[in-house]
Homo-oligomer: A and B are copies of this chain.
Amino acid sequence: MGKLLIVGTVAFDAIETPFGKTDKILGGAATFIGLAASQFDVDAAIVSVVGDDFPQEYLDLFSNRDLDISSLEIVPGGKTFFWKGKYHNDLNVRDTLVTELNVLADFSPVVPVGYKDADVVMLGNLHPGIQMSVINQMEKRPKLIILDTMNFWMDNSLQELLEVIKHIDVLALNDEEARQLTGEYSLVKAAQKISEMGPKYVVIKKGEHGALLFYKEQVFFAPALPLEEVFDPTGAGDTFAGGFSGYLASTVDVTFENLKNAIIHGSNLASFCVEKFGTERLLDLERQEVNQRLHQFKALTQFDIELQ
């Protein structure tokens, strides 16, 4: 069992999908990452910031899952980061209606002393300068630094993003972002270019079309589980990252072979996340259901051709 340091947003989300809408509910990248990672035997801490409008009840959700929130800063008089979005009938498309940074505007993460030697660091989507400051606070080079990012930072903070990318082991981003970052349409070529920027591993997320893991000349693919209904995609990517990093921290094995397993665990947890609004499904998730669905992943992908 290893240590996992999680850095990212803890937020309020208001979500509208073709199936319904919510008021302000619990959201944020670090929230989904932490809840997913807590499915594994791992010591995990969340570094983030909220306002004092953030309810104790939500803080308890983390503590009850043994997530260390001693470095989840609560700003007196501050308001928690808020995102409001609306999904189209094609759930792959969404409009952001409101983004209020609030306390996130001045966020300066402080890595807790007990996690300066974390085995795995999971940097959720944030300003690349903030991501870099976390890496700089580590006393020991982590076995694996994973970074999630998005097109917003490519548009607005490209130099800082390229700088932090030099220092990480795994870059996770979606297909369109991989194309934007490299100018290559082919994902194979895009992954090659990204690996020349620093990361040993490249994870390209394709949403309902699964995820690709590139390592040198090799590639592994995990499909998304075909579901009868996707209810709300919010947090699926972060849940994937939480399952991925949580499993790796719990096994403390960062070989390519084990990263394949981690990709499957991430996809598995993400398949639950989308079944209900926000964190709802992750919060009532039982170990047995998780194991059962792993069997489905195996049945979905394993075949028996005798090779020559």
A residues engaging B (CB < 8 A)? Answer: 89, 185-189, 206, 209-210, 212, 218-223, 226-230, 257, 260-261, 264-265, 291, 294-295, 298-305, 307-308
Contacts and interface: CB of A to CB of B under 8 A. Distances in A.
Tell me if A's interface is mostly helix, strand, loop or mixed.
Answer: mixed
Contact of A303 (B261, B295, B308): B261
A227 B188 contact: yes
Contact of A221 (B187, B220, B226, B291): B226
A188 B223 CA distance: 14
A226 B187 contact: yes
A221 B299 CA distance: 9
Contacts of A307: 291, 294-295, 298
A210 B188 contact: no
B219 A221 contact: no
Contacts of A295: 307
A308 B291 CA distance: 6
A74 B218 CA distance: 48
B221 A305 contact: no
A223 B226 contact: no
B228 A189 contact: yes
Closest 4 CB pairs of A and B: A209-B209, A221-B223, A188-B228, A260-B303
Given A219-B226, A265-B305, 18 more contacts: A186-B228, A186-B229, A186-B230, A188-B228, A189-B229, A210-B210, A218-B299, A219-B299, A219-B300, A220-B300, A220-B303, A260-B304, A261-B303, A261-B305, A264-B303, A291-B307, A294-B305, A302-B302
Contacts of A301: 220-221, 301-303
22 contacts: A186-B227, A186-B228, A186-B230, A188-B228, A189-B228, A206-B209, A209-B209, A209-B210, A212-B226, A221-B223, A221-B226, A222-B303, A223-B223, A257-B304, A260-B303, A260-B304, A261-B303, A264-B303, A265-B305, A294-B305, A294-B307, A302-B302
A189 B221 CA distance: 24
A82 B291 CA distance: 53
A264 B307 CA distance: 12
A6 to B, nearest CB: 23
